[in-house]
Amino acid sequence: MASKDKSKFPKVVVVGGGFGGLQVAKKLKDEPVDVLMIDKHNYHTFQPLLYQVATGSLEPDSIAFSLRKNFAGQKNFRFRNAEVTGINPEKNTIDTTIGEIAFDYLVIATGSTTNFFGNKDIKHFAMPMKSIPEALNLRSLILQNIEEAVLKTTRQEREPYLNFVLVGAGPTGVELAGALAELRNHILTSDYPELEKDHMKVYLVDFQDRVLGAMSKEASRGAAEFLKSMGVEVLAGVKVESYDGVEIKFEGGKTIPTKNVIWSAGVMGVVPGGISNDLIVRGNRVKTDSVCRVVGYSNIFAIGDVASMITEETPKGHPGVAQVAIQMGNHTAKTILQLINGEPTVPFKYFDKGSLATIGRNKAVADLGKLKFQGFFAWMIWMFVHLITLLGFRNKLIVFINWVGSYLTYNGGARLIIRPFTPEATPEEPASLSKTN
């Protein structure tokens, strides 16, 4: 039996506490609706800074914020820590790990996960980084392999432990490559005097012919120059053939011995069961109409990374970035109120505020409409935008203090192996720690 809400107000169920889900719930504050948010974690993750958790610059609680605390004081909001297992459109209910829940309006804001494009070996041996548990696993792997390298007596023995291969040269790959290069350039020989800086290699690989393919050519060129100046070897126009946990092979015959392959070459939407396969398009995204409704349904919406609004202007859908999710969330909240009040709806229009990517200390690229910036000024813009977007004053303060400390000392972060990673552990369920919910 689905849970019944005795309230006379329409019930809006939001699945996912990411950027889009947060915006829907926030914009419905003080409106005549009841909002129920469901997420398998009880916190919002600020994904743009996951790479700093993975490299030990930040602790996970500084980029996570309690969903309940975020909506404290919003009287029409409730939260349930659960996982959605299916949608029943004909009954207007969803199946969850805490039972069946009824809705009047449903917003699917489940985001995306790593896409390994069906390669089971790469999925098994490579490391993704789409969540805090995955970032912590990656941190442990990086530090454990450096510790293991210290124990080896020859450079050849150390090589697989100190070769870091990042597949995918989008913002995540570029930023993580820069962070690893800074670890090598400023920290490696200080923390590990037995090693030499040139023992550690950082490779950034992409099948496209340039890094940051979604940004301008100026930003791409600038990022590549910054990376190369930091000692990162950029392999553009190169496709991965296989990885067995010991050696990564590329089409054309090139191989690199490595125990550190980090995969950010693609994402795919996380679609709950119950949505017809006919509505699933490229990237495992749900096809929506011009107001973010799932095609064929009057009261089910999909927003953010899991949604694909295909129009003449966006034949491949919108990019999977936070601003799209935020703007779709804002528009969906307005649309739900328009439907409740019997008012005409308005098509969604995305306003591109620009793109940013940081490569390291004093190095970033920014595309802000016709304005293109590179270097220190772009880096300052990047820091400002990320600080103001973080949830919670405490998080903003902690991140700012960490950044200042790292900038002044060249040696920020604790880099502790608190929870050793074992290959048998799944990315979301580390062997040495219970769930992080």
How many structural domains does the chain have? 2
Asked if the structure places residue 354 within a domain, the reply is no
State the CB neighbour count (10 A cutoff) for residue 298. 9
Q: Give the pLDDT score at 434.
A: 32
283-335, pLDDT tens digit by residue?
999 999 999 999 999 999 999 999 999 988 888 899 999 999 999 999 999 99
**Share of residues in the chain with pLDDT > 90 (%):** 88
Q: Give the pLDDT score at 429.
A: 46
Asked if the structure places residue 425 within a domain, the reply is no
By residue count, the chain amounts to 437
Whole-angstrom Cα distance, residue 393 to residue 388? 9
Q: Are residues 94 and 143 in the same domain?
A: no
Q: Give the pLDDT score at 430.
A: 43
Confidence tier at 7 by pLDDT (50, 70, 90):
low
Q: Are residues 258 and 155 in the same domain?
A: yes
280: left (phi over 0), alpha (psi -120 to 50) or beta: beta
Asked if the structure places residue 205 within a domain, the reply is yes
Q: Are residues 261 and 175 in the same domain?
A: yes
89-105, pLDDT tens digit by residue?
999 999 999 999 999 99
Q: Which residues make Cβ contacts (< 8 Å) with residue 336, sequence separation at least 6?
A: 10, 12, 28, 33, 105, 107, 301
Angstrom CA distances, 307 to 151, 316, 334, 344, 432, stand at 48, 11, 18, 22, 35
- Does 251 qualify as catalytic in the annotation? no
Q: Are residues 248 and 154 in the same domain?
A: yes
Of the residues 281, 306, 340, the one at which a domain ends: 340
Q: Which entry of 175, 247, 251, 313 is annotated as an active-site residue?
A: 175
Q: Are residues 193 and 331 in the same domain?
A: no
Whole-angstrom Cα distance, residue 149 to residue 272? 42
Q: Are residues 250 and 140 in the same domain?
A: yes
In this prediction the pTM is 0.90
HSE at residue 204, side-chain half, CA atoms within 13 A, is 32
Contact between 12 and 54 (Cβ < 8 Å):
no
If one compares 427 and 343, the residue with the highest pLDDT of the two is 343
Please return the burial class of 294, using the count of CB atoms within 10 Å of its CB with bins 0-12, 13-18 and 19+. buried
User: Which residue in 265, 333, 293 sits closest to 127, CA to CA?
Assistant: 265
Q: Are residues 88 and 201 in the same domain?
A: no
Whole-angstrom Cα distance, residue 257 to residue 125? 13
Q: Are residues 160 and 188 in the same domain?
A: yes
HSE at residue 56, side-chain half, CA atoms within 13 A, is 22
Asked if the structure places residue 400 within a domain, the reply is yes
Q: Are residues 290 and 186 in the same domain?
A: no
Q: Give the pLDDT score at 312.
A: 86
Asked if pLDDT for residue 437 goes beyond 50, the answer is: no
CATH number of the CATH domain containing 272: 3.50.50.60
Q: Are residues 404 and 255 in the same domain?
A: yes
Asked if the structure places residue 277 within a domain, the reply is yes
159-202, pLDDT tens digit by residue?
999 999 999 999 999 999 999 999 999 999 999 999 999 999 99
392: left (phi over 0), alpha (psi -120 to 50) or beta: left
Q: Are residues 94 and 135 in the same domain?
A: no
Residue 186 corresponds to which tokens in the numbers above?
């400023």
Whole-angstrom Cα distance, residue 17 to residue 45? 8
Q: Are residues 179 and 327 in the same domain?
A: no
Angstrom CA distances, 428 to 42, 129, 200, 264, 435, stand at 14, 10, 28, 16, 8
Asked if the structure places residue 372 within a domain, the reply is no
Rounded to the nearest 10°, the torsion over CA 331, 337, 342, 345 is: 0
Q: Would you list the DSSP string of 310-366?
A: --SS-TT---SSHHHHHHHHHHHHHHHHHHHTTPPP---------EEEEEETTEEEE
Asked if the structure places residue 374 within a domain, the reply is no
Q: Give the pLDDT score at 425.
A: 53
Asked if the structure places residue 166 within a domain, the reply is yes
Q: Which domain holds residue 299?
A: 11-40+82-114+268-340
Q: Would you list the DSSP string of 276-320?
A: -GGGEETTTEEEB-TTSBBTT-SSEEE-GGGEE---SS-TT---S
CATH number of the CATH domain containing 169: 3.50.50.100
Residue 262 corresponds to which tokens in the numbers above?
């980090």
